[in-house]
Every structure is written in C-alpha cells, then in structure tokens.
Amino acid sequence: MITGFVALYIFMLAAFTGYEIIGRVPTILHTPLMSGSNFVHGIVLVGAMVALGNADGFWETLIGFVGTILAAGNAVGGYVVTERMLEMFKSSKD
C-alpha cells in the first residue's frame, strides 16, 4: 500500500514531470499533445478492470462493467485519434 509521504512524493514528482514535458513545446503540437495525454490517462482501464474483477453483487458489477467499457473507449479512442492527428501533421509538414 502506497501511503502518507511516499504517496505525496510520487504525486509531487509526477506533477513536475508533467510540467517539464509540456514546458518548451511548439504551439502546433499542443493539440496532438492534448490528445496524447488524453490517451495516457486511459490507464484508468487497469483500475476499472481490477474494480470489475472484485465487484460483488449486481450494482457493483454493473458499475464496474460500465466503467471498464468507458475506460477501454478512452484508451483505444485516444490512441487512434492521436495517431491520425500526427499522421496528418507529418504529411502536411514534409
């Protein structure tokens, strides 16, 4: 279990990492990066899977099931859309 200050340190370091990643990025890449980071938080899928896997009873299972559908949509949709954006970006650039 990640608790207390260890959790706080992880939150802090990850926040600075995210800040540094975006810091000096050219403006034209802002939209693809928004889409790319939208894909990255699709990692919520692994949490939804665990929640569904542990769900007891009808309502918990239903919410877990819907959550997993939504999360899978986030991950897969985010990836496909980002890839298409970068495809277009590349061809218009060359």
Partner 1 sequence: MSFWDFIVNASYFVAAVLFIYGLKQMGSPRTAKKGIKLAGIGMLVAVVFTFFHPAIEGGFWHYLLMLIAIGIGGGAAYKTGKTVQMTAMPQMVALYNGMGGGAAAAIALVEMYSHAAFEHGFALIIMAVVGALIGGVSFSGSLIAWAKLEGKLDKSFRVPGQQIINGALAVLIVILGWSIVGSDDGAPVLVTLFFLASLIFGVLLTIPIGGADMPVVISMYNAFTGLAVAFEGYVIDNPAMIIAGMVVGAAGSLLTWLMAVGMNRSITNVLFAGFGVDDGAEAS
Region 54-83 residues binding partner 1, contact defined as CB under 8 A = 54-56, 59-61, 63-83
Q: How far is the CB of 56 from partner 1 (least distance, A)?
A: 6
Q: Restricting to residues 2-41, which ones interact with partner 1 according to CB under 8 A?
A: 2-4, 7, 10-11, 14-19, 21-41
Q: How far apart are CA 84 and CA 47, in angstroms?
A: 27
Q: How far is the CB of 5 from partner 1 (least distance, A)?
A: 11
| Number of residues lying near partner 1 (CB under 8 A) | 81
